[in-house]
Amino acid sequence: MSNKEERIYDSIAKCQQTILELEELNSRIMGSEGENVRFRIETKHWYGYGIDMHFGKERRILDISKYTMYAIIESAVKRQKERINGFIDNIIKVRKGNNKK
């Protein structure tokens, strides 16, 4: 297996892991009691330079309907599956190129 094929297989594995995580998130969201889902987004930042550096956090909470979040997740899953199909096409091209030599 070539180095390029190995990188493609690693990318496919990452996409599959993402799909599994999204499907788990989706099942938790759809199994929740209420109509809305609350997401907390936390970002971390370094401010300043040298001795004056300090660490800051920014938190935001989003209230989104379950069905909107479901649509977002399904769209992300679809994109990941399309990426996997593209990677498989690349593997086929690489193998065809190696067979011609």
pLDDT confidence of residue 3: 84
Range with top average pLDDT, 16-20, 50-54, 88-92: 16-20
Q: What is the pLDDT of residues 25-40, one digit of tens each?
A: 999 988 888 888 888 8
- Characterize 45-69 residue by residue with b for buried, 16 or more Cβ atoms within 10 angstroms of its Cβ, and e for exposed: eeeeeeeeeeeeeeeeeeeeebeeb
pLDDT of 89 higher than 60: yes
19: nearest Cα among 85, 74, 91, 90 = 74
Percent of the chain that is helix, strand, coil (3-state, to 5): 65, 25, 10
- Taking the whole predicted model, whether its pTM rises above 0.85 is answered as no
pLDDT of 19 higher than 60: yes
